[in-house]
């Protein structure tokens, strides 16, 4: 286990036995473990808590601090003449029965505006697309209706999800933002069949977004152009996730402004989510993004929340540069580091196979880290 993860576990532990029950989770048969990870996410808890609760219920003791549940478990196994390896799956299956898939609260949907999560950083290759996609999948897996907007003309997100980019430039999101589109935006929405309990819908990219800044320069109140364009479809969703291009231009102003806290919306409900890497170049890019956010805030008089940072492609074996950079990100405090994602093959494999990571490798560490990230986003 990586040091960063150990630290994260220790932080969560607070005497609850996070490490003990994480180890127990890893001992479950593969399919059962995957199912448990998904179901735990649907209930908004970490898998280790689900396993601890399962074992506690199996033993008939309250799910309290780890050591006592662990002791009770050993005693109960001995009494029943079972090994812990046999008893664990049995306890997990009972937990499934007691914790069915929660109903999706559809009733609140029409009244609440969709939450907006804008994933941005003008540096390329830091993981904007990976994070946008992973977060959107984790939210859809736990039952939300999620719109994923491919706002990057390069169309990586669309390609990775196996969806063709939009050919007809008259219909594109950019044309809607510029105010000269043909037809409605809803016709462009592409539902993805991922087997999640919620819905994941993609608004694919169009090459014409390369010229978005030029077109926006002639548009009045251009900072509101993304908000105006998405207004007709937004209410259909719980969350809209925007995968931004590596740029700082007018199109980015519109994306950042789209994440503004609206009247009546709780603070830090919508906002920007910033993937960074544990290296020095990322720090410079981050400062530039902060300046842009500050300028927009001052110029437009809007409230902008920074939901957090995601330190991506983290590898402590890279030594001092990586570990000290991670510490620097963590010491910022605001915005908080919401996740540390290692460099993992499952991420690259899912991209190559054009499949969503959480359906390609639901039991992977990376999938679980995205579920944890989604939970931390609320
Ligand atoms: N945590 C990760 N582990 C492995 N590969 C990753 C990870 N995050 C991103 N990648 C890969 O790194 C490359 C750049 O990531 P991407 O999300 O496209 O960055 P951006 O959108 O910021 O340009 C992609 O090939 C992606 O598949
Ligand atoms: Mg990208």
Choosing from 98, 128, 143, the residue where a domain stops is 98
Domain closes at, from 73, 98, 123: 98
Residue 53 lies in a domain: yes
pLDDT of residue 140: 96
What pLDDT, on a 0 to 100 scale, did the predictor assign at position 14?
A: 52
The enclosing domain of 306 has a CATH number of 3.40.50.300
In a domain, 242, yes or no: yes
Domain check: are 368 and 234 in the same one?
Answer: yes
Read off the pTM. Answer: 0.90
Does residue 320 lie in a domain region?
yes
DSSP 29: -
* Phi, psi for residue 220 in degrees, rounded to 5: -75, 145
Do 274 and 289 touch, CB atoms closer than 8 A?
yes
Which residues span the domain enclosing 172? Answer: 115-377
Pair 238, 120 in one domain = yes
Domain count, the chain: 2
Does the C-beta of 127 come closer than 6 Å to ligand 1? Answer: yes
Judge if 201 and 310 occupy the same domain. yes
Euclidean distance between CA atoms 55 and 51, whole angstroms:
6
**What pLDDT does residue 106 have?**
56
Q: How far is CA 295 from CA 190, 236, 257, 265, in A?
A: 35, 31, 11, 22
184, 232 Cβ separation under 8 angstroms = yes
Of 68, 98, 128, the last residue of a domain is: 98
CA 361 to ligand 2 center in whole angstroms: 21
CA of 111 to the centre of ligand 2 (A): 32
Successive 10-residue mean pLDDT values, the chain, 378 residues: 44 66 94 94 93 94 80 93 95 95 63 87 96 98 96 96 94 95 94 92 94 93 96 95 95 97 93 94 90 95 97 89 91 94 96 96 96 95
132 lines ligand 1 (CB under 6 A): no
Asked if 250 and 151 touch (Cβ cutoff 8 Å), the reply is: no
Q: For the chain, what's the residue count? A: 378
Pocket of ligand 1 contains residue 371 by CB under 6 Å: no
> Is residue 108 situated within a structural domain?
no
User: Is residue 325 domain-shared with residue 224, that is, in the same domain?
Assistant: yes
Whether residue 109 lies inside any domain: the answer is no
């Amino acid at each position: 286990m990586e040091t960063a993860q150990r630290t994260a576990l220790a932080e969560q532990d607070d005497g609850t036995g996070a490490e003990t029950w994480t180890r127990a989770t890893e001992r479950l048969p593969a399919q059962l473990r995957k199912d448990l990870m998904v179901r735990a996410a649907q209930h908004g808890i970490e898998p280790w808590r689900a396993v601890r609760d399962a074992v506690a219920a199996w033993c008939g003791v309250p799910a309290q601090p780890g050591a006592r549940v662990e002791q009770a478990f050993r005693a109960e196994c001995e009494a029943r003449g079972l090994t812990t390896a046999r008893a664990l799956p049995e306890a997990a299956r009972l937990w499934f029965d007691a914790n069915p898939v929660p109903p999706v609260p559809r009733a609140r949907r029409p009244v609440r505006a969709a939450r907006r999560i804008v994933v941005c950083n003008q540096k390329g290759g830091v993981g904007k697309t990976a994070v946008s996609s992973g977060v959107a999948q984790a939210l859809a897996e736990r039952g939300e209706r999620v719109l994923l907007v491919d706002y990057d003309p390069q169309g990586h997100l669309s390609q990775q999800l196996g969806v063709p980019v939009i050919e007809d430039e008259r219909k594109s999101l950019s044309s809607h933002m510029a105010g000269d589109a043909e037809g409605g935006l809803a016709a462009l929405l592409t539902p993805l069949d991922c087997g999640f309990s919620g819905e994941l819908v993609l608004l694919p990219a169009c090459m014409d977004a390369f010229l978005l800044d030029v077109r926006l320069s002639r548009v009045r109140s251009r900072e509101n152009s993304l908000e105006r364009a998405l207004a007709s479809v937004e209410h259909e969703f719980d969350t809209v996730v925007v995968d931004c291009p590596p740029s700082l231009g007018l199109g980015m102003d519109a994306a950042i402004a789209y994440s503004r806290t609206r009247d009546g919306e709780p603070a830090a409900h919508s906002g920007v989510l910033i993937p960074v890497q544990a290296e020095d170049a990322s720090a410079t890019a981050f400062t530039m993004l902060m300046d842009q956010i500050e300028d927009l805030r001052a110029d437009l008089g809007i409230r902008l929340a920074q939901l957090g940072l995601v330190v991506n492609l983290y590898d402590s074996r890279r030594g001092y540069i990586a570990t000290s950079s991670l510490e620097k990100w963590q010491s910022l405090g605001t915005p908080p580091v919401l996740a540390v994602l290692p460099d993992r093959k499952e991420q690259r494999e899912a991209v190559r196979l054009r499949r969503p990571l959480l359906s390609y490798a639901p039991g992977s560490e990376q999938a679980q880290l995205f579920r944890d990230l989604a939970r931390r986003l609320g």
